[in-house]
Copies of this chain bind each other. A is one copy, B any other.
Amino acid sequence: MIRVLASALAGHLGEEVTLQGWLSQMRRLRGLAFLILRDRSGTAQVVLRDPQEIERVTALSHESVLAVTGLVTARGDGRPGVELQELSIDILAAAHEPPPIDLFRPALELPLPTLLDYAPLSLRHPRRKAIFEIAAAAAHGFRATLRQQEFVEIHTPKLVAAATEGGANVFPVGYFERTAYLAQSPQFYKQMMVGVFERVFEVGPVFRAEPHDTPRHLNEYVSLDAEMGFVDDHRTVMAVLGAVVAGMLAAVQEQASGAVALLEAELPTLPHALPQLHFTDAQRLLHAVRQTGEEPLDLTPRDELALGAWAKKEFGSDFLFIEGYPEASRPFYTHPDPERPGYTRGFDLLFRGMELVTGGQRLHRYQDYLDALSRRGIDPAPFAGYLQAFRFGMPPHGGFAIGLERFVARLLGIQNLREATLFPRDRTRLDP
C-alpha cells in the first residue's frame, strides 16, 4: 500500500493509500466518525463508517498514533479538498491518557512554565513547531553562505581547561581528578584555526553561567561562529556578516515559507548595504534624547531599542551596525582602533533594536596579546595554548558570533528566548 503524507493526499484522488499520524481531533455525526490526523506535513480528515471501528477509535485519547488505509475521495460536505474513507485502521500506539494540552486549537494560550514543562507535547503544536523549522532553515543558510565563501566547518572542544573570557560566569565540570570548564564560546579555538584554514565556522552549544533569570538570557544556547584571516579591518568582517544574514533570511524564506506564513512573520528586507554608525555617533544621537553628560562605555538595552528605531526611520533598515565600542567594554583580544585611542574595531549588529551579533577585528601579534593581558592584569599562563598560535604567526583576522535563538526570536517578535529554544536551560530549569 502506498504511504502518503497528509499534504499529498489530494494528488491521490480515487486511490487506496495509507496515512500515518497523530489523532488530533474527532467528532461523531449521524452514525459517522470524523478524525483529523496530523503528520509532519499537516492534517487530513478520515471518515469512519464501520460502527465497530468507530467504537474502537473514539475510545482513544487524542495524540494516539494511527495508520489508516483508505480511499481518497472528494470531501463529502461539499467543501474543497479530499478526505480518506477508512478501510482499515492500525493503532500504532494508544495515548496512555488524554493530553493536558489541546493541540488542535489554533494557538496555545499557556503560561510559559506549562509550555516548557510539557515541551515534548507542546512542541507538536504547528505554531511551536514552525519556530524550529525556521531555526533549522536559518542554521542551514548560515552554513551555506559561509561554505560558498570557502569557510571550513570545525568542531572544537566544549570542555576547556580555563575560562574563555575571564573567570566569571563559567560552569565547572568534575573532570576525573581535576576541574574543567564549559566553553563560554569557541573564540580561542576559532582564532587558532584561522592559522590552519584562514576561514572557519562552527555551529555549536555555548554555556554561560549567568545568574540572571531574564527573557534575554539562556544558560546554554546555540552559537553560530565564524572567523576569517587576512582582513583589512573589521569592515571586511562586517561585509561577510551582511552576506551571512542575507543568506539566513533567504534560507528561511525558501525552506520554511509555510512556517513563516503560519506565524505571520514579517521578514526584514535588507538594504544593499547595512547602515553603520560609530559608537560615539550613536552616543551623540542618544544624548540628543537623554541630555546626559559623560559618554557611557556600552549601550543599554534601551539605547539599542532607540537606535533600532532610528535605523528603521532613517534607512528603512531592521539592522544597524554599531562599530568602535570602547576598549573597556570589549574583551582583551579586541583590536584597538589605531585612529581613535580608547576605541576598538569591535562591532555589534543590532536587529530590530537588540544586539544580535558581536564581532570585530582581533589582535594578531604575539606581543600585542602579552601587552593587552598585562594591561588588564590577567595572567597569561592559562592561555599558553591559545597564545601559541600568535607566537608562530597569525594574519590580521576577525569574526563574529550570532545567537541562533536570538535571531529566530527577533525575526518572529518573540520576547522570551525560552520560547525560541526547544528545551531551554536557565537557572531553575534543567528538565525536560
Is A220 in the interface zone, CB < 8 Å from B? yes
Contact B120 A392 (CB under 8 A): yes
Q: Hey, what's the 0/1 contact readout for A202-222 against B, CB within 8 Å counting as 1?
A: 011101010100000001101
Q: When chains A and B are docked, how far (Å) is the Cα of A162 from the Cα of B40?
A: 29
Contact A39 B198 (CB under 8 A): yes
Is A327 in the interface zone, CB < 8 Å from B? no
Q: When chains A and B are docked, how far (Å) is the Cα of A385 from the Cα of B365?
A: 50
Q: When chains A and B are docked, how far (Å) is the Cα of A180 from the Cα of B118?
A: 20
Q: Choose from B196, B385, B427 the contact partner of A431 (Cβ within 8 Å).
A: B385
Q: When chains A and B are docked, how far (Å) is the Cα of A95 from the Cα of B391?
A: 6
Is A155 in the interface zone, CB < 8 Å from B? yes
Contact B431 A161 (CB under 8 A): yes
Contact A92 B161 (CB under 8 A): no
Contact A207 B393 (CB under 8 A): no
**Cβ contacts under 8 Å, A388 to chain B:** 118, 120-121, 432
Is A96 in the interface zone, CB < 8 Å from B? yes
**Cβ contacts under 8 Å, A367 to chain B:** 96
Contact A40 B92 (CB under 8 A): no
Contact B193 A123 (CB under 8 A): yes
Contact B393 A65 (CB under 8 A): yes
**Cβ contacts under 8 Å, A92 to chain B:** 230, 364, 395-396
Q: When chains A and B are docked, how far (Å) is the Cα of A147 from the Cα of B255?
A: 11
Among A107-115, A133-141, A333-341, the one that faces the other chain is A133-141
Is A127 in the interface zone, CB < 8 Å from B? no
**Cβ contacts under 8 Å, A197 to chain B:** 40, 129, 132-133
Q: Choose from B96, B172, B180 the contact partner of A391 (Cβ within 8 Å).
A: B96
Q: When chains A and B are docked, how far (Å) is the Cα of A366 from the Cα of B121?
A: 14
Is A64 in the interface zone, CB < 8 Å from B? yes
CB distance from A35 to the nearest CB of B (A): 13
CB distance from A222 to the nearest CB of B (A): 5
Contact A65 B432 (CB under 8 A): no
Contact B154 A132 (CB under 8 A): yes
Contact B192 A385 (CB under 8 A): no
**Cβ contacts under 8 Å, A152 to chain B:** 132-133, 136
Given A96-B391, A120-B195, A173-B171, verify A157-B423 contact (CB < 8 Å).
yes
Q: When chains A and B are docked, how far (Å) is the Cα of A366 from the Cα of B195?
A: 51
Q: For residues 389 through 432 of chain A, which have their beta carbon under 8 Å from a beta carbon of chain B?
A: 389-396, 404, 422-425, 427, 430-432
**Cβ contacts under 8 Å, A385 to chain B:** 119-120, 431-432
Contact A153 B173 (CB under 8 A): no
Contact B430 A93 (CB under 8 A): no
Contact A393 B192 (CB under 8 A): no
CB distance from A102 to the nearest CB of B (A): 12
Q: Hey, what's the 0/1 contact readout for A69-102 against B, CB within 8 Å counting as 1?
A: 0000000000000000000000011111101000
Given A64-B393, A99-B392, A386-B432, verify A207-B159 contact (CB < 8 Å).
yes
Q: When chains A and B are docked, how far (Å) is the Cα of A205 from the Cα of B154?
A: 12
Contact A393 B132 (CB under 8 A): no
Is A174 in the interface zone, CB < 8 Å from B? yes
Given A180-B430, A189-B422, A388-B120, verify A22-B393 contact (CB < 8 Å).
yes
Contact B97 A391 (CB under 8 A): yes
**Cβ contacts under 8 Å, A230 to chain B:** 3, 20, 67, 92
Q: Hey, what's the 0/1 contact readout for A136-180 against B, CB within 8 Å counting as 1?
A: 100110000001001011111111111000000001111110101
**Cβ contacts under 8 Å, A330 to chain B:** none
**Cβ contacts under 8 Å, A211 to chain B:** 176
Contact B432 A192 (CB under 8 A): yes
Q: When chains A and B are docked, how far (Å) is the Cα of A173 from the Cα of B174?
A: 6
Determine the residue in chain B with the shortest Cβ distance to A98: B392
Is A199 in the interface zone, CB < 8 Å from B? yes
**Cβ contacts under 8 Å, A153 to chain B:** 136, 139-140
A-B contact pairs, 8 of them (CB 8 A): A20-B395, A63-B392, A121-B195, A139-B153, A155-B422, A159-B171, A161-B431, A180-B430
5 cross-chain pairs, A with B, having the tightest CB-CB distances, nearest first: A385-B432, A63-B393, A120-B389, A161-B430, A161-B431
